[in-house]
Amino acid sequence: MCLIVVGWRVHPEYPLVVAANRDEFYARPSSPIARWPDAPQVIGGLDLEAGGTWLGISEGGRFAAVTNVREPGMAKGERSRGALTRDFLTAAASAADFAAQIDGGRYSGFNLLLGDGESLVYCSNRDGQPRRLAPGIYGLSNHLLDSPWPKLLAARQRFGEALPGLPDESAFFQLLADQTIVDDENLPTTGVSIEWERLLSAIFVKSANYGTRASTLVWQRADGAITMHEQSFGPNGQPLQSSVISTAV
């Protein structure tokens, strides 16, 4: 997952709202959102290569999402970062307790958002101790929480503008579909080539081999009901499957 924007307790009817794009090589096998066969209370996609997930939510209100930290040349961690989200979604520990027991040295650089219905916690093995987040709008890409990358700043602004329109989804998916490439003078410097910096500067990433595989919108009503809507994509941004799963209380 390469872009996540979260609204935490800023909408009176929807305490949790998430808009996210997952960027990945198209060759990496994965499955679209569904109830997990071994944990049917959990809704999310699955990485079929390592067995974890980039984003998921449970009927009990547990939410988890992860992004990698872009640091080319670093040694690969022994455990998949997607295992962090999967483990939390199927556990019973609070977000704070789960974050506190993570051994960050076992993973490549990650950013992790964990929600248990009562609190939203951010943790990263590149950004100090886990911390509970106050109500607000937060953004993650492939650096640290709210790093001022142009696409993240734009996404947060447009997310805030879209919030009052819920349950209308259109503004969120327009945001997630933005293919604007940032001017070279405003690109972050993350250790990849200038060609990759340009490609990855868009909210919606598109190429023949790598790009946005899924755009996902999740929101939870104040009564606990959940809606997750995912649009998946193939090479060069070709639209594939659209899936919606809703729960009732």
pLDDT at residue 128 above 70? yes
Residue 1 has pLDDT above 70, yes or no: no
Fold of 3-246: Penicillin V Acylase; Chain A (3.60.60)
For residue 22, give Cα distances in angstroms to 140, 166, 186, 223: 12, 22, 23, 28
Within 8 A by CB and 6+ apart from 157, the residues are: none
Question: How do residues 41-86 score in pLDDT, each as one tens digit?
Answer: 999 999 999 989 999 999 989 999 999 999 887 888 899 999 999 9
Whether 137 shows a pLDDT value over 90: the answer reads yes
> How far is Cα 35 from Cα 210, in angstroms, rounded to an integer?
26
The pLDDT mean for the chain works out to 95
pTM here is 0.95
> How high is the pLDDT of residue 69?
93
Phi, psi of 151, rounded to the nearest 5 degrees: -70, -30
pLDDT at 145: 94
Confidence of residue 19 (pLDDT cuts 50, 70, 90): very high
